[in-house]
Chain A
């Protein structure tokens, strides 16, 4: 029964995701119809044309270029980032047995942001486009290492949360310092805009950079499902069922860090997806942490893609930042959920 429910739910999410993908590809300065998008995706012209020659080439080849080289990376990035944030949130909430946990809690995203901000501060980003995501990812890896060492030594979730809060406060303070000391107003603007989170103007290079890490992280988190289920019973009983809470904690930390570090590196800080999505899907998956994992990945991808579509429909001549939009939609929605839960508990 559970299995059938899950298949139906995931199929529904997947179908919605496919629809939104096509819809997202139609939106932009040049409005395209669904048929044009599908035609451009699957036939298209030769892909090795340079953008300067756009005017000279036929419409089909031009559409192919717009759809596959400009719009597709954005859509794929929304899916990758959304999926990794959604599943990380679900895994962390399962590990900490707390619906308020989210990827930002461990301080990994703040550390990744710090890496990127330092790169912008020292003007390294202009040397090579690769330097920024790479330095963000290195910084995320460093903070993960610290967390893992910490988790190895301590046995409680509370101290893990406290360590995460400490790490993210430190990173936030250093980011503020970088903004404070930034040499020119333009640098400040660069940093602040980057911190808001965006997936605009990304290419397949960004995808190639983050995808291996995200896939590794998602795989690692998915493999934790059964152990997270067992952890519902508490550390001791889970251990009596053959689960090692210490090893599970390490797996979730590393999986989350891979996902979040890689996502922040290419898209900046995008909030609330990891908090809201598992919350929305928890009841539909029967409160099973394991069943929540794949559904949250799909739900996160769906939500971020939807947010990106809304953002582009609303802002035609100014660029709204994706991180701002997700927080603007996510925060009130979250408050609503909490209030509804309160009413349920009171009953």
Chain B
């Protein structure tokens, strides 16, 4: 059973402390959400875990200390999905997803699409590259578009292609930076359902989110960051309290439950509006009247 274990992880840029001594444990088989306002240090923390940013402190995956592993060791075990960026070349969807198999391809010629024979090829050694790519395309609902060039896709399709690329790595740990940004509600839900299903396959899935309802509904555990420091960590209900939202986001929100699942609708920023004390017309009551628990 692998487990991602962070001890006192800090990221410093110049004088500024982007992430301040974060310690947490994420067991395999769980979906972990990083939330917080813009600039809270969510992405920096994710990058530090992926060993893409210099940091202090320790990250362990199982018994291995990540800082001491080789880049190729990590490449097979940590999948990383960056925030949406500009794509350089309009290659076909399938070819793009295939790039995720790079760590599993032998060290031979650039064109060797062969089965990996490396004994240290990580969890995917029983799976051929083709199978992994086909599975990733199927999971993201892209099988139909496999031969379409990237520049003929909508923004939502592109986001799914990038996610498929990260899934194709078939790593123990998947680190996704805002995978739901720029997606419509349907695809936001389907991406979260997919990530949830991935976590249930004995993986560690860490995801940066802005949508509080998605965070509380799908994540097993949340970490709320504010200016680099941990404000709260644990189950969504205990993290997304009205007090915390007020403190971190300066936000008043509607908290509710539907079929035993929590939802949170941000309603107004406390800086601009007078506090809302009364029940609104639709019958929801605002945070300062009902604590959710």
A residues with a Cβ closer than 8 A to B are 2-3, 6, 97-98, 222, 225-226, 229-234, 236-237, 239-244, 282, 286-291, 293, 345
Main secondary structure of the interface of B (DSSP, over half): mixed
Identity of the chain B residue whose Cβ is nearest the Cβ of A244 in the assembled complex = B71
Q: Does B191 contact A (CB under 8 A)?
A: no
For the A-B complex with A2-B113, A236-B52, A241-B102 known, give 10 more contacts whose Cβ atoms are closer than 8 Å.
A2-B95, A3-B111, A6-B111, A98-B88, A226-B110, A236-B47, A241-B75, A286-B92, A288-B91, A291-B111
Q: Does B155 contact A (CB under 8 A)?
A: no
Please tell me the size bucket of the interface on B. 20 to 34
Q: Is the CB of A242 within 8 A of B89?
A: no
Query: With a CB–CB cut-off of 8 A, which chain A residues contact B55?
Result: none
Identity of the chain A residue whose Cβ is nearest the Cβ of B74 in the assembled complex = A242
Q: Does B31 contact A (CB under 8 A)?
A: no
8 Å CB interface, B54-87 against A: 71-72, 74-75, 78-82, 85, 87
CA distance A231 to B85 in the complex (A): 12
CA distance A282 to B78 in the complex (A): 31
- Nearest first, the 4 closest Cβ-Cβ pairs linking A and B are A242-B75, A225-B110, A240-B80, A97-B88
Identity of the chain B residue whose Cβ is nearest the Cβ of A97 in the assembled complex = B88
Query: With a CB–CB cut-off of 8 A, which chain B residues contact A237?
Result: 80-82, 165-166
Contact of A240 among B52, B87, B95 (CB under 8 A): B52
Task: Tell whether A241 pairs with B169 under 8 Å between CB atoms, given A232-B87, A233-B99.
Answer: yes
Identity of the chain A residue whose Cβ is nearest the Cβ of B175 in the assembled complex = A240
B121 to chain A, nearest CB (A): 12
Contact with A along B94-116 (1 / 0, CB 8 A): 01100110110100001101000
Q: Is the CB of A240 within 8 A of B111?
A: no
Q: Is the CB of B52 within 8 A of A289?
A: no
Query: With a CB–CB cut-off of 8 A, which chain A residues contact B50?
Result: 240
B179 to chain A, nearest CB (A): 13
B136 to chain A, nearest CB (A): 14
Q: Does B90 contact A (CB under 8 A)?
A: yes
How many residue pairs between the two chains, A and B, have CB atoms under 8 Å in the bound complex?
84
Query: With a CB–CB cut-off of 8 A, which chain B residues contact A225?
Result: 110
B69 to chain A, nearest CB (A): 11
Q: Is the CB of B88 within 8 A of A230?
A: no
Identity of the chain A residue whose Cβ is nearest the Cβ of B75 in the assembled complex = A242
CA distance A110 to B181 in the complex (A): 45
Q: Is the CB of B89 within 8 A of A232?
A: yes
Q: Is the CB of B111 within 8 A of A287?
A: no
Task: Tell whether A287 pairs with B75 under 8 Å between CB atoms, given A236-B82, A241-B102.
Answer: no
Contact of A242 among B71, B149, B166 (CB under 8 A): B71
CA distance A234 to B102 in the complex (A): 14
Identity of the chain B residue whose Cβ is nearest the Cβ of A231 in the assembled complex = B88
CA distance A338 to B81 in the complex (A): 32
Identity of the chain A residue whose Cβ is nearest the Cβ of B177 in the assembled complex = A236
Q: Is the CB of A234 within 8 A of B85?
A: yes
Query: With a CB–CB cut-off of 8 A, which chain B residues contact A282?
Result: 89
CA distance A243 to B110 in the complex (A): 14
Q: Is the CB of B52 within 8 A of A239?
A: yes
Q: Is the CB of A3 within 8 A of B95?
A: no
A-B contact pairs, 5 of them (CB 8 A): A2-B113, A226-B110, A233-B99, A288-B91, A290-B110
CA distance A268 to B272 in the complex (A): 67
CA distance A293 to B96 in the complex (A): 18
Kindly name the residue among B71, B80, B88, B96 whose own CB sees the greatest number of chain A CB atoms within 10 A.
Answer: B88
Query: With a CB–CB cut-off of 8 A, which chain A residues contact B113?
Result: 2-3
8 Å CB interface, B128-142 against A: none
B217 to chain A, nearest CB (A): 27
CA distance A213 to B67 in the complex (A): 38
Q: Is the CB of A286 within 8 A of B95?
A: yes
CA distance A98 to B89 in the complex (A): 9
CA distance A146 to B96 in the complex (A): 35
Q: Is the CB of B110 within 8 A of A291?
A: yes
Query: With a CB–CB cut-off of 8 A, which chain B residues contact A236?
Result: 47, 52, 80, 82
Q: Is the CB of B99 within 8 A of A229?
A: yes
CA distance A282 to B100 in the complex (A): 21
Q: Is the CB of B111 within 8 A of A242?
A: no
Query: With a CB–CB cut-off of 8 A, which chain A residues contact B103?
Result: 241-242
Query: With a CB–CB cut-off of 8 A, which chain A residues contact B91?
Result: 232, 286-288
